[in-house]
Copies of this chain bind each other. A is one copy, B any other.
Amino acid sequence: MEKVTIATVAQRAGVSRQTVSNVINTPDVVREETRERVREAITELGYRVNQAARQMRTGRSRLIAVRIEPARDGINGSVLDRFLHGLTDAAGLAGYRVMLYTAADDNDEIATYDELLSAYDLDAFVLTSTHHGDPRTSWLAARSVPFVTFGRPWGAPDTHSWVDIDNAAGTADATRHLLAAGHQRIGFLGWPAGSGVGDARREGWHRAFGPWGVSAATTDGVESGAVAARSLLTNDEPPSALVCASDSLALGALQAARELGCDCAVVGFDDTAVAQAIGLTSVSQPLAEAAARCMGLLAELLDGRAPSVPTTVLLPPSLVLRQTA
């Protein structure tokens, strides 16, 4: 199999290189008859644009990068996994490819941006795990590198486009579901104040249930969840249901309830494998859609047809009902 270049196609179709290029990139400037002839030649020869050559001329690689993190806490690991799958799919449909990288911390990540941009001419980045005082967004913005974050810019103005899950709506839904099921005292088991995601999840419960509920805050994890739940459940007026900020905490709560022999409904968050395995009712994030929206926003930015004001997308999660609530 010989190498098929744009020149091969041009010869076959009896036109010049540039005409073939025009058929591919700006078809409307080529006469219909010629266009068809070139298209036939392309399929007959199985021609495909050589990205490296195109990139050298245009400076664009049709490559976007995203960081892959180790499954930190174990339970919540697969969330990113599902997002990645969705992003790869969406990127493929839009004619882009996804490149992975790892980084130890924010500064390491910024160094990687620098390297990826100058060595590979990356077109854009998708950032995950945004947090307060995130240095990554300002670095990218200062160099006007296109990017989108999955996760809103906590504590900063909306100077870039982002996609996020409406965490508060998720816990509010869960709480309303429990209220409708007749629960009178619904508690919340969450993380210490300060993390944007955690605060939002608490806020949703608070909004739906009002200022009366009991709540506890602890670091994430099954063990600490069990400890915190135990103290809530041995109160004078123990809750009959618990909304939790994660499936890990929820699992801990379930263990505490079983130990104490009390019947307490439990709802988790993230709809992880653990929830599916043990029948835990949980709030599920629409990760595939989030990924698709991220890609959509990036495509807008890269095509230069993005509105001057950043777009923000907030997706509602859904409650997956199982045995525990």
Q: Does A157 contact B (CB under 8 A)?
A: no
The complex places the Cα of A75 from the Cα of B75 at a distance, in Å, of: 10
| A277 CB contact (under 8 Å) in B63, B99, B274 | B274
Among A48-56, A123-131, A208-216, A231-239, the one that faces the other chain is A48-56
Given contacts A55-B52, A92-B101, A97-B101, contact A74 B276 (CB under 8 A): yes
Among A78-86, A166-174, A188-196, A305-313, the one that faces the other chain is A78-86
Nearest-CB residue, chain B, relative to A221: B277
Q: Does A29 contact B (CB under 8 A)?
A: no
Q: Does A133 contact B (CB under 8 A)?
A: no
Within 8 A of B (CB), among A32-62: 46, 48-53, 55-56, 61
Q: Give the chain B neighbours of A61 by CB distance below 8 A.
A: 52
Given contacts A78-B71, A80-B81, contact A99 B102 (CB under 8 A): no
Q: Does A119 contact B (CB under 8 A)?
A: yes
Q: Does A15 contact B (CB under 8 A)?
A: no
A interface, size bucket: 35 or more
Given contacts A50-B119, A274-B277, contact A100 B88 (CB under 8 A): yes
Q: Give the chain B neighbours of A68 by CB distance below 8 A.
A: 81, 84-85, 88
A15 vs chain B, min Cβ distance (A): 21
Flag if A52 contacts B272 (CB, 8 Å).
no
Q: Give the chain B neighbours of A179 by CB distance below 8 A.
A: none
Taken residue by residue from 93 to 127, chain A's Cβ proximity to chain B (1 for < 8 Å, 0 otherwise) reads as 00001111110000000000001101111000000
The complex places the Cα of A274 from the Cα of B75 at a distance, in Å, of: 7
The complex places the Cα of A115 from the Cα of B46 at a distance, in Å, of: 10
Q: Give the chain B neighbours of A277 by CB distance below 8 A.
A: 74-75, 222, 248, 251, 274
The complex places the Cα of A167 from the Cα of B82 at a distance, in Å, of: 26
Q: Give the chain B neighbours of A89 by CB distance below 8 A.
A: 102
Q: Does A200 contact B (CB under 8 A)?
A: no
Q: Does A273 contact B (CB under 8 A)?
A: yes
Q: Does A69 contact B (CB under 8 A)?
A: yes
Q: Does A278 contact B (CB under 8 A)?
A: yes
Flag if A85 contacts B56 (CB, 8 Å).
no
Q: Does A135 contact B (CB under 8 A)?
A: no
The complex places the Cα of A204 from the Cα of B233 at a distance, in Å, of: 45
Q: Does A304 contact B (CB under 8 A)?
A: no
Flag if A273 contacts B119 (CB, 8 Å).
no
The complex places the Cα of A271 from the Cα of B89 at a distance, in Å, of: 28
14 A-B interface contacts by CB (under 8 A): A48-B115, A51-B121, A52-B52, A52-B55, A52-B61, A53-B56, A71-B82, A75-B273, A88-B102, A97-B100, A98-B99, A100-B100, A273-B274, A274-B277
Task: List the 8 closest A-B pairs by CB distance, nearest first.
Answer: A52-B55, A48-B118, A74-B273, A81-B81, A98-B100, A75-B273, A74-B276, A88-B100
User: Residues of A with Cβ closer than 8 Å to B?
Assistant: 4, 46, 48-53, 55-56, 61, 63, 68-71, 74-75, 77-78, 80-82, 84-85, 88-89, 92, 97-102, 115-116, 118-121, 222, 248, 251, 272-274, 276-278
